[in-house]
Amino acid sequence: MSAAHAGGDMKVTLHVWRQARAAAEGAFETYGLAVSPDMSFLEMLDVLNEELVLDGRDPVAFDHDCREGICGTCSLVIDGQPHGPHRETTTCQLHMRSFRDGDSITVEPFRAAAFPVVKDLVVDRSAFDRVLAAGGYVSVNTGSAPDANAVPVARERAERAMDAAACIGCGACVAACKNAAAMLFVGAKVSHLALLPQGAPERGRRVLAMVERMDAEGFGNCTNESECEAACPKGIGVDNIARLNREYLRAALTGGD
Amino acid sequence: MSATLEAKVPSGPLAERWSKHKFDLALVNPSNRRKFKVLVVGTGLAGGSAAASLAEMGYEVLAFCIQDSPRRAHSIAAQGGINAAKNYKNDGDSVFRLFYDTVKGGDYRAREANVHRLAEVSNQIIDQCVAQGVPFAREYGGLLDNRSFGGAQVARTFYARGQTGQQLLLGAYGAMLRQAASGRLTLLPRREMLDVVVVDGMARGIVTRDLVTGAYERWAGHAVLLCTGGYGNVFYLSTNAKTSNVTAAWRAHKRGAFFANPCFTQIHPTCIPVSGHYQSKLTLMSESLRNDGRVWVPRTKGDSRPAAAIPDAERDYYLERKYPSFGNLVPRDVASRSAKDVCDEGHGVGATGQAVYLDFRDAIARDGAETIRARYGNLFEMYERITAEDPYRVPMRIYPAVHYTMGGLWVDYNLESTIPGLFVLGEANFSDHGANRLGASALMQGLADGYFIVPATIASHLAGRRLAPVDTGHAAFAESHEASRARHARLLGVRGSRTVDSFHRELGRICWNQCGMARSAGGLRDAIEKVRALREAYWQDVRIPGEPNSLNPELEHAGRVADFLEFAELMARDALERNESCGGHFREEHQTADGEARRDDARFCHVAAWEWTGEGEPAERHREELAFEAVSLSTRSYR
């Protein structure tokens, strides 16, 4: 990689996980790269890939889309941390100025049994969709809703529901957890609807079905270490896990409603 | 005017047309709906809401998306809010006022009856979303809060912090999942649509590629809905997500769907400027910042002193100077053009000279830093994260960026394209925003189309026409399938010396410089030549690694860029033929002595709809005349 091409004035060494497909063996490959501190981390990978293509080598596959921290598509474990070193920052919003000239950086996919590798740094997170499909919604047909102001919701309650609803479904919580538990994700989704009157009629049924599905997908159990909260790019708190446990217990004791 | 452009707008008083039309439309009996299969391409607000609603009604629905999950479609990135004519603020809003503001904001290039219908269903959208559990902002009494947005003098915008699009999309996605659980809807993620299959003159299926396995797949149905968003990424740099593309719309165009007003593109004035040639996308900073920030550049060209060292007398607050009554709050198109003008004159700031200051110094002095933090804290943090500059201490640097495209596939009042059975929803169609979209109207339109309009109008096709049984063994499927496969094989076979991105960046520069904020006949003609030459070079020299039969992001991108290279020519031609300035389309030849846009209603009060006439042949321009009955045409003035 020529410095002129990258416009870069710092050099980094990348150790990137390469894996041709789900069933293949994976291994780290090492690349040297000149970068600009103003590049985003994903732009750095773009530059690497253009260089690999021109060299006749296979570019690194990674997931990304909006590149502004909201779609939840980007992932990566960077030097052991999901989404890299900064709190409440997705990989797409991480910039190379967070690293120093001469740094070695290790880049891996999110690792969890429930998130199998598709290729290189791309993993399959469809388990999250299946957990939500088990009941993460309000059953209301189009056209049947009452006036939007018919049911008042206390401002504080609406704000707490929004705190939970801010989850972008990226899966960093699972990647950060030594048990690969999805309880922060499921807790956030359950909390969002449990806190609102619109979610009340299906409150019990929802949490039982979602937890059952979560277990079936192979996610582990929570052992209260809060690594998920530390890794969450949207600052979702472990209070949502506490609420998930309460909701589950309540529903289990009352038979689901 | 071509007979094929029949807009099918119902007659009668404007406010009664939609009700009358719904009554006049054919119906599909509930027990017959399961016999119809509807293919929905794209799962943003338009596609997600349509897929869920149609499945609820009993249709069999297949929903395709390019992302790994339907909930990641780019609607998710909309920040500001969604308009509705609820008049909860008692400040004089009404369906007619929302309709009026939208037609005027669009600079009188939208279809009146469509916009009125949009305003009519706006209130039901809010009801629906609240019932789904969308956590809109609320007041202490527990009722919904509203804020005001550009182009309106009432507060009608509902919002969920700065994540309104995300919350609305999660609502539509939840509704889709519920139908998936019921078995009436099948979700097909990581699929890219490569062709529309037309049988006996009707859209009867699609060809997709499974992006993980690389397999080409055929899908037959009774109707196809394209909900595939806008084409802003033709400019390479935009606020769109990286996978946003024109491919689905363009392939439909080449199968007979007319493309309307492709030159109507929206450039948003407050984005973080480009910092280097490796830049892959641009980030929007909310329009709301212009309520307190003052926009300026140094009076002296090339003044490189730090902002704080430039005294007030040597600053040009050019928006306040040129537009004393609206000042920093002029509409998006006016603010964007003014920024370009001062930078072109050499007054731009920052390393590239392609930026202006948005300065909060006076607001902080007046209201205190804490007040400003409460209003804009998250935006200031985002700015600092990207630029490493603290906007509490130094002014933000901003520059306009491509944000939204008003043009799209032509549709009639039923949202049906010129291919019978092919419906187009949301940003992918052209219908409601004219030449300029107002803030908080995109989410409204996507959900209106999907929740309320297409579920009614699709019956005009399903019940109104004879649909012979068609399966994927039909020769038209084989032809589309083979054409899609062969195109990829040809791209992979070039084995040239340049990356896909290098071509995309070059195309973006041509479009931005010559078909962006200011356009001229000479520049557009030159752009068309350059695009043709670049397209030629692309098919000779692009280099795409790997194979078609596996996950291959470079190949996906290559197919999209190939389509952008064709589409860009049409966009420039449309801009060339539209010899007027209106909304986001500014032709340098058509301006007043003060540099304001000059519309030509006598010659251009129409929709330009382009018909594909074959490879290498010039597209044919058709017109749909626009009649304004409820709103009188006037000149926008913000001075």
Determine the residue among B66, B127, B164, B271 to mutate to test chain A binding: the one whose Cβ has the most chain A Cβ atoms within 10 Å.
B127
For residue A95, the model assigns a pLDDT of 96
Binning pLDDT at 50, 70 and 90, where does residue B62 land?
very high
Co-location of A157 and A202 in the same domain: yes
Question: Residue B529 falls within a domain, yes or no?
Answer: yes
How many angstroms separate the CA of residue A180 from the nearest CA in chain B? Answer: 20
Structure tokens, B127: 């009801």
Determine the residue among B49, B122, B130 to mutate to test chain A binding: the one whose Cβ has the most chain A Cβ atoms within 10 Å.
B130
Binning pLDDT at 50, 70 and 90, where does residue B152 land?
confident
For residue A8, the model assigns a pLDDT of 64
Looking up residue B573, the CATH number of its domain turns out to be 3.50.50.60
- Asked if B241 lies within 8 A of A43 by C-beta distance, the reply is no
Co-location of A20 and A88 in the same domain: yes
At A82, give phi and psi (nearest 5°): -60, 130
**B408-409 vs B259-260, strand pairing mode:** antiparallel
Closest CB from B129, B280, B452 relative to A46: B280
For residue B151, the model assigns a pLDDT of 67
Residues 69-88 of A with CB under 8 A from B: 69-73
For residue A2, the model assigns a pLDDT of 36
Residues of chain A positioned with their CB less than 8 A from the CB of B239: 68
Q: Which of A117, A143, A171 is a domain's end point?
A: A117
Q: Which of B346, B369, B402 is a domain's end point?
A: B402
Residues 94-153 of B with CB under 8 A from A: 123-124, 126-133, 135-144
| Structural contact between residues B108 and B605, judged by C-beta atoms closer than 8 angstroms | yes
Residues of chain B positioned with their CB less than 8 A from the CB of A42: 280
CA dihedral B166, B167, B172, B175 (to 10 degrees): 130
**A126–chain B Cβ distance below 8 A for any pair:** yes
Q: Which of B382, B402, B422 is a domain's end point?
A: B402
Share of chain B above pLDDT 70, in %: 99
Question: What mean pLDDT is predicted for residues A163-187?
Answer: 98
ipTM of the shown complex: 0.97
Q: Flag whether pLDDT at B3 surpasses 60.
A: no
Q: How many domains does chain A have?
A: 2
What single-letter DSSP state applies at residue B421? T
Q: Which of A98, A117, A136 is a domain's end point?
A: A117
Co-location of B251 and B282 in the same domain: no
Looking up residue B280, the CATH number of its domain turns out to be 3.90.700.10
Co-location of A105 and A152 in the same domain: no
How many angstroms separate the CA of residue B610 from the nearest CA in chain A? Answer: 30
Q: Is A43 exposed, middle or buried (0-12, 13-18, 19+ CB in 10 A)?
A: buried
Q: Taking the CB of residue B35, how many other CB atoms lie within 10 A of it?
A: 14
- Sign of the alpha-carbon torsion through B125, B131, B134, B135: positive
What single-letter DSSP state applies at residue B232? G
Closest CB from A53, A161, A166 relative to B499: A53
Co-location of B253 and B279 in the same domain: no
Mean residue pLDDT across chain B = 95
Closest CB from B241, B279, B283 relative to A43: B279
Question: What mean pLDDT is predicted for residues B536-564?
Answer: 97
Determine the residue among A33, A70, A131 to mutate to test chain B binding: the one whose Cβ has the most chain B Cβ atoms within 10 Å.
A70
Co-location of A23 and A101 in the same domain: yes
Q: What is the DSSP string of B280-349?
A: ----B--GGGGGT-EEEEESSTT--S-GGGS-GGGEE-HHHHH-TTTGGG--HHHHHHHHHHHHHTT---
Co-location of A142 and A220 in the same domain: yes
Residues of chain A positioned with their CB less than 8 A from the CB of B506: none
Question: Residue B638 falls within a domain, yes or no?
Answer: no
Co-location of B23 and B96 in the same domain: yes
- Asked if B242 lies within 8 A of A136 by C-beta distance, the reply is no
Residues of chain A positioned with their CB less than 8 A from the CB of B232: none
Which chain A residue has its CA at the smallest distance from B243's CA? A65
- Asked if A133 lies within 8 A of B177 by C-beta distance, the reply is yes
Residues of chain A positioned with their CB less than 8 A from the CB of B67: 65, 71, 73
C-alpha B251/C-alpha B260 separation (Å) is 15
Binning pLDDT at 50, 70 and 90, where does residue B305 land?
very high
For residue B2, the model assigns a pLDDT of 47
**A123–chain B Cβ distance below 8 A for any pair:** no
- The predicted-structure confidence for B349-375, as pLDDT tens digits, reads as follows 998 899 999 999 999 999 999 988 877
Co-location of B327 and B429 in the same domain: no
Residues of chain A positioned with their CB less than 8 A from the CB of B124: 143, 145
C-alpha B388/C-alpha A218 separation (Å) is 41
**B294–chain A Cβ distance below 8 A for any pair:** no
How many angstroms separate the CA of residue B368 from the nearest CA in chain A? Answer: 25
For residue B377, the model assigns a pLDDT of 84
Co-location of A197 and A90 in the same domain: no
Co-location of A45 and A90 in the same domain: yes
Co-location of B346 and B271 in the same domain: yes
**B385–chain A Cβ distance below 8 A for any pair:** yes
- The predicted-structure confidence for B491-540, as pLDDT tens digits, reads as follows 999 999 999 999 999 999 999 999 999 999 999 999 999 999 999 999 99
Looking up residue A154, the CATH number of its domain turns out to be 1.10.1060.10
Identified catalytic residue from B33, B117, B204, B332: B332
Of the listed ranges A212-226, A236-250, B32-46, B324-338, the one predicted with least confidence: B324-338
For residue A257, the model assigns a pLDDT of 64
Closest CB from B143, B166, B499 relative to A50: B499
Q: Is B639 exposed, middle or buried (0-12, 13-18, 19+ CB in 10 A)?
A: exposed
How large is the C-alpha radius of gyration of chain B? Answer: 24
Closest CB from A42, A122, A142 relative to B451: A142
| Structural contact between residues B413 and B9, judged by C-beta atoms closer than 8 angstroms | yes
CA dihedral A167, A169, A170, A176 (to 10 degrees): 70
- The predicted-structure confidence for A83-103, as pLDDT tens digits, reads as follows 999 999 999 999 999 999 999
Co-location of A101 and A168 in the same domain: no
How many angstroms separate the CA of residue A177 from the nearest CA in chain B? Answer: 22
Binning pLDDT at 50, 70 and 90, where does residue A121 land?
very high
Binning pLDDT at 50, 70 and 90, where does residue A255 land?
confident
Looking at residue B546, its amino acid is G
Q: Flag whether pLDDT at A5 surpasses 60.
A: no
C-alpha B599/C-alpha B606 separation (Å) is 12
**B177–chain A Cβ distance below 8 A for any pair:** yes
Q: Flag whether pLDDT at A215 surpasses 60.
A: yes
Co-location of B249 and B288 in the same domain: no
**B37-41 vs B223-226, strand pairing mode:** parallel
- Asked if B132 lies within 8 A of A153 by C-beta distance, the reply is no
Residues of chain A positioned with their CB less than 8 A from the CB of B123: 148
**B170–chain A Cβ distance below 8 A for any pair:** yes
- Sign of the alpha-carbon torsion through A84, A90, A96, A98: negative
| Structural contact between residues B446 and B426, judged by C-beta atoms closer than 8 angstroms | yes
- The predicted-structure confidence for B447-469, as pLDDT tens digits, reads as follows 999 999 999 999 999 999 999 99
Residue B77's closest CA among B404, B317, B308, B309? B404
Q: Is A103 exposed, middle or buried (0-12, 13-18, 19+ CB in 10 A)?
A: middle
For residue A138, the model assigns a pLDDT of 98
Q: Tell me how far CA of residue B480 lies from CA of A29, B404, B559, B612, in angstroms.
A: 40, 30, 15, 17
For residue A1, the model assigns a pLDDT of 35
Looking at residue B600, its amino acid is D
Co-location of A142 and A249 in the same domain: yes
For residue A164, the model assigns a pLDDT of 98
Residues of chain A positioned with their CB less than 8 A from the CB of B53: 142
Question: Residue B635 falls within a domain, yes or no?
Answer: no
Q: Half-sphere exposure of B292 toward its Cβ, with a 13 Å CA cutoff?
A: 24
Q: Flag whether pLDDT at B319 surpasses 60.
A: yes
Structure tokens, A203: 């409150």
- Asked if B276 lies within 8 A of A134 by C-beta distance, the reply is no
How many angstroms separate the CA of residue B276 from the nearest CA in chain A? Answer: 8
Q: Identify whether B332 is a catalytic site residue.
A: yes
Of the listed ranges A4-8, B152-156, B191-195, the one predicted with least confidence: A4-8
Q: Which of B402, B427, B447 is a domain's end point?
A: B402
- Asked if A43 lies within 8 A of B74 by C-beta distance, the reply is no
Co-location of B477 and B370 in the same domain: no
Co-location of B514 and B581 in the same domain: yes
Domain coverage including residue B358: 267-402
Q: How many CB pairs under 8 A join A and B?
A: 213
How many angstroms separate the CA of residue B239 from the nearest CA in chain A? Answer: 8
Co-location of A102 and A8 in the same domain: yes
Name the pTM for this structure.
0.97
- Asked if B77 lies within 8 A of A38 by C-beta distance, the reply is no
Co-location of B391 and B304 in the same domain: yes
For residue B148, the model assigns a pLDDT of 80
Sheet with B620-625: list strands edge to edge. Answer: B408-409, B259-260, B606-611, B620-625
For residue A3, the model assigns a pLDDT of 35
Written in H, E and C, the secondary structure of B490-517 is HHHHHCCCECHHHHHHHHHHHHHHHCCC
How many angstroms separate the CA of residue B591 from the nearest CA in chain A? Answer: 36
Secondary structure class of B355 (helix, strand, coil):
coil
Co-location of B359 and B419 in the same domain: no
Co-location of B73 and B222 in the same domain: yes
Domain coverage including residue A101: 3-117
Question: Residue B239 falls within a domain, yes or no?
Answer: yes
Co-location of A179 and A91 in the same domain: no
Determine the residue among A95, A137, A206 to mutate to test chain B binding: the one whose Cβ has the most chain B Cβ atoms within 10 Å.
A137
Determine the residue among B54, B132, B397 to mutate to test chain A binding: the one whose Cβ has the most chain A Cβ atoms within 10 Å.
B132
Written in H, E and C, the secondary structure of chain A is CCHHHHCCCEEEEEEEEECCCCCCCCEEEEEEEEECCCCEHHHHHHHHHHHHHHCCCCCCCCCCCCCCCCCCCCCCEECCEECCCCCCCCHHHCEHHHCCCCCEEEEECCCCCCCCEEECCEECCHHHHHHHHCCCCCCCCCCCCCCCCCCCCCHHHHHHHHHHHCCCCCCHHHHHCCCCECHHHHHHHHHHHHCCHHHHHHHHHHHHHHHHHHHHCCCECCCCCCHHHHHCCCCCCCHHHHHHHHHHHHHHHHCCC
- Sign of the alpha-carbon torsion through B473, B479, B480, B482: positive
Binning pLDDT at 50, 70 and 90, where does residue A7 land?
low
Question: What mean pLDDT is predicted for residues B2-11?
Answer: 83
Co-location of B317 and B352 in the same domain: yes
Co-location of A205 and A148 in the same domain: yes
Secondary structure class of B530 (helix, strand, coil):
helix
C-alpha B508/C-alpha B444 separation (Å) is 29
Question: Residue B606 falls within a domain, yes or no?
Answer: yes
Question: What mean pLDDT is predicted for residues B103-111?
Answer: 94
**B54–chain A Cβ distance below 8 A for any pair:** no
Q: Flag whether pLDDT at A38 surpasses 70.
A: yes
C-alpha B520/C-alpha B129 separation (Å) is 44
- Asked if B386 lies within 8 A of A36 by C-beta distance, the reply is no
CA A45 to chain centre: 19
How many angstroms separate the CA of residue B384 from the nearest CA in chain A? Answer: 11
Residues of chain B positioned with their CB less than 8 A from the CB of A140: 128, 131-132, 175
How many angstroms separate the CA of residue A140 from the nearest CA in chain B? Answer: 7
Q: How many domains does chain B have?
A: 2
